[in-house]
Amino acid sequence: MLDIRLANQRGRADHGWLRSCHTFSFANYYDPEQMGFSDLLVINEDRVAPGQGFGMHPHRDMEIFSYVLEGALEHKDSMGTGSVIRPGDVQLMSAGTGVAHSEYNHSRSNPVHFLQIWISPALRGTMPRYQQQHFAAEEKRGTLRLILSPDAAQGSLSIQQDARVYAGLLDGSESAQISLAPGRYAYVYVARGRVTVNGSQLSEGDGVRVRNEQALSFVDGQDAEVLVFDLRAAEVSAH
């Protein structure tokens, strides 16, 4: 079963320097029907004005990853990490017992467009850690490339939850498929473009809760970039 949530159904916030779309309840946007899906709690699509950003602020007991679509995002944290994240980079911060970080648009002239995604960890109170890796477009072209997994399989980043995240680029005749183990949930998010998933046409910003499906098929992409989350069959985690 595919439960589609259209892009225009998301929560929105406009702070001038920051424009955000919230797939799930976040900050001042609250919808009791949109409190996450399994261990996936947040998908925020953020656009940050040149030279602006989020000052140093704390997190704990959360797996937080950023996925840049356009521009460059500058990261600093209390673990001493400093980096600039560009398209193709995946940054994963395991907040554990507590970490503070800041995120700024690295450019003084161009906006940055990125996704920030939160996944609830399997264990609380772990040691904070930071990971970052580049996945070239060629690795995602016409396929679903594993980018996060609990065991760092296939060169993916290691996430502290029974969750796997895939990224794919699809255009024209390109297609991709993924099998789902019995009893698993999945979530599909269209980061850009258009694509058809199991017969349903989806556009940028659309999301899909997936239950009781054995496989997902992606066809008819139009400059599409997708993220696929393979998740436990669980209700929304407490957080």
- Domain map (residue ranges) of the chain: 2-231
pLDDT averaged over the chain? 95
196 vs 234: which has the higher pLDDT: 196
pTM: 0.96
Q: Residue 238: its pLDDT value, please? A: 47
What is the distance between the alpha carbons of residues 75 and 112, in angstroms, rounded to a whole number?
13
Give the right CATH number for 2-231 from 3.40.50.720, 1.20.1050.10, 3.40.50.620, 2.60.120.10: 2.60.120.10
How much of the chain, in percent, has pLDDT values that exceed 90?
A: 90
Which of 47-61, 165-179, 202-216 is predicted least confidently? 47-61
Whether 82 has a pLDDT exceeding 90, the answer reads no
Residue 141 backbone phi and psi in degrees, to 5 = -70, 115
Query: Which whole number is the average pLDDT over 198-211?
Result: 98
Q: In terms of C-beta distances under 8 Å and separation of at least 24 residues, what long-range contacts does 141-148 make, across chains too?
A: 141/169, 141/174, 142/168, 142/169, 142/170, 142/174, 142/175, 142/176, 143/168, 143/176, 144/168, 144/176, 144/178, 144/218, 144/226, 144/228, 147/90, 148/65, 148/90, 148/92
What is the distance between the alpha carbons of residues 215 and 212, in angstroms, rounded to a whole number?
9
